[in-house]
Chains A and B, each alone.
Chain A
Amino acid sequence: MTFLTALLRVLGGALAAGALGYALARFFTPGLHRAETLAWSFATGLLVQAILFVVLVSIFPGAGPLPILAIDAAMVAASFLARRPRVPDRLARGQARTLVFTLLAIAGVAWLVFLVAALSEPMWATDYLAMWGLKGKTIFETGFIPRRLFQDPALYWGRPDHPLLVPLSLAALASLSGGWNDQALALFFPLCELATILGVWGFLSRRVSPLAGASAAALVSVCFPLYRAVNAGLAEIPLAFALVLGSCAFFDSLETGSRPAMTRLFLASLLAAWTKPEGTLFVLLLAGTLFLRRRLRPVETWKSGGWALVVPPILHASLMLLFARPIPPRDFDPTFLEPRRWSELLSRFGMVLARILGTYVLPVWVPVLAIGLFFLFTRRGLADLLLPVLVLQVLGYVAAFSISSFDPIWKVDSCFQRLVATLIPPFALVLGARVGREKASQYGKARPGASNAAKSHSAST
């Protein structure tokens, strides 16, 4: 099979996943911007296709893509037979159209740059070879999830405790496209970037203004520290997508408390927690933020979206414990948390901070200063609530490096930049939201809990 044929087949597989996702997402994306609906369709397709792949290859081993495509077609047909809820579209139009189109054109060109970089050769990043690609290829080639991926001591470096959504997505795409072509499969990553851009653009266009959406979309697309050739194949790119969707759904659930918004929040949490452990940290921090906003009332927090944030990580942890029982990770040394080692921990914490500041912050003082001034000269935006979450996420990384079993400086150098780059797309939501003023609520005046309008909308859904 030539590369072009393989690429077209992978694209076909991704479109099938997107169509399946749309068939399901149309029930919980009423009233959203078209771009957002596409992003949610892609996310839903990823999750459902990965689950379908695991179930169907165990029932029909060696049957190829036919069972998956048949179920996809049946679900799409069933979806279009059902009526979907309608919510009035209140998108602003006509504001600074030329500037908006220019920014979107920049986003398009920047996306093409990553597309070319990702597809130029077979994926080769170390973590792709050792973790994501190895697991995906093994699952695809064997037709099931071998237990040794979790329990083989010879594979200790393959992070047996990490979630499987990315390997399963790659295996499902390979199955749909008829073979494992690690150059064509790289298309998955630019598609994730595209969905992230669409998610950011759609959400801010709906909640703030098209200019805010286009500004943030352009910022996400030029996030080349994340979207570059070496990161094609890594879970960081799908993770950034999950963080953006999680943030958007979080703000929608705060505004409306509606059932569709909660469903989206649950789905995004699932996506984040099943992509990388950093995704679990992010959704738990969102849950903590919600808990504080609900004045430390657990029942109210649970009912107003806490369940959607907490259940997916628990579900993932339970599945891993029940079915996988992975060998314990060797990356962290919890004895650093014992009182006798606190002084040592403090010194490592200082080392890590000094390394981050000296090597990764000071050299980029110009953009850091620009961000500081931007916050000084702009009004508060609807996504400002993300700021403490993002800061705590970075502090979480600093803490993790400090209790690393390995040299903490080596850990910082090997992954700090890549991990922080995944936070730039959700951070672009914060910046973009400050470009314009938040629109009046789609359901009337915004309020801490669910509004009556939102409740009635939720009931109708």
Chain B
Amino acid sequence: MSGGARLPNFLRHSLPAALLLVLAASMVATLSPTEIARRGSLLLRSLAGETITAAERTGFWFDPAYGAFLEEVRRSTPRDATIAVVVPPWPDVYVYQAAYQLAPRRVVERGRQSEATFVAAYGYRYPGAPNPDVTALPGGALFRRR
């Protein structure tokens, strides 16, 4: 072991420790106390058996109502279905959430509707005319392709 600039004895141990402390402090500074408190409260509520609403979750930050729509699509389709999702083009997490929440169903984007057995159109207001191949869902509609 060699190297290291010569330092007076009292600095030899304390200076490296202080420098590591600066490094550690700079990483700790990236934390937000408010965020820790919020997450602690969410965890306690989850442990107590409370259901956390979509609006409080980060996963649907871009559109809290989208979670309920996907849940209805999941309930209304078989596990081996291929579902084309018609969703806003931005942010791309609309598609990722659909693929993840609906797994193991295969999810394709708007351009691949021909491969799908269902089309889930988010934001589409179904007028309500009776049609066995169309189901109105909260926030959209589900079309069965034949």
Give A residues with C-beta under 8 Å from B.
2-4, 7, 110, 113, 116-117, 119-124, 126, 128-130, 133-134, 137-138, 141-142, 146, 148, 152, 154-155, 157-158, 183, 215, 218-219, 222-225, 228-229, 364, 366-367, 370-371, 373-374, 376-381, 424, 431, 434-435, 437-438
Residue of A nearest to B100 (CB): A129
CB-defined contacts of B92 to chain A, threshold 8 Å = 126, 157
28 cross-chain CB contacts under 8 A: A3-B46, A110-B28, A117-B39, A120-B43, A121-B39, A121-B42, A123-B59, A126-B96, A129-B59, A130-B100, A137-B103, A138-B103, A155-B99, A157-B92, A158-B99, A219-B24, A224-B27, A228-B30, A228-B31, A229-B39, A229-B58, A366-B22, A371-B19, A373-B15, A374-B23, A377-B11, A379-B4, A424-B27
CB distance from A383 to the nearest CB of B (A): 12
> A379 and B43 in contact (CB under 8 A), knowing A117-B36, A223-B27, A367-B22?
no
Give 8 A-B pairs besides A134-B100, A219-B24, A379-B3 with Cβ atoms closer than 8 angstroms.
A3-B49, A121-B58, A146-B104, A154-B106, A367-B27, A377-B5, A378-B4, A378-B16
Is B129 interfacial (CB-CB < 8 Å)? Answer: no
Q: Mark B76-106, 1 if CB is under 8 A from A, else 0.
A: 0001000000000000110111011001101
Q: Is A141 a contact partner of B104 (Cβ separation < 8 A)?
A: yes
Identity of the chain A residue whose Cβ is nearest the Cβ of B93 in the assembled complex: A126
Known: A4-B47, A124-B58, A379-B1. A215 touches B26 (CB 8 A): no
Consensus secondary structure, chain A interface: helix
A222, B47: Cα distance in complex, Å: 25
The chain A residue sitting closest to B15, CB to CB, is: A377
In the complex, chain B residues whose CB is within 8 Å of the CB of A228: 30-31
Contacts known (A124-B59, A379-B2); A129 close to B97, Cβ less than 8 A: yes
The residues in B between 1 and 56 inclusive whose CB is less than 8 angstroms from any CB of A are 1-5, 7, 11-12, 15-16, 19-20, 22-24, 26-28, 30-31, 35-36, 38-40, 42-43, 46-47, 49, 52, 56
Known: A134-B96, A222-B27, A366-B22. A120 touches B39 (CB 8 A): yes
Highest count of chain A CB atoms <10 Å: which of B43, B79, B92: B43
Task: Select from chain B the residue with minimum beta-carbon distance to A218.
Answer: B24
Assembled-state Cα–Cα distance A196/B16 (Å): 23
| B71 close to chain A: CB less than 8 A | no
**CB nearest neighbor in A for B31:** A224
Q: Mark B103-115, 1 if CB is under 8 A from A, else 0.
A: 1101111001001
Give A133 to B40 CA distance when docked, in angstroms. 23
Decide yes or no whether B57 CB sits under 8 A from chain A: yes
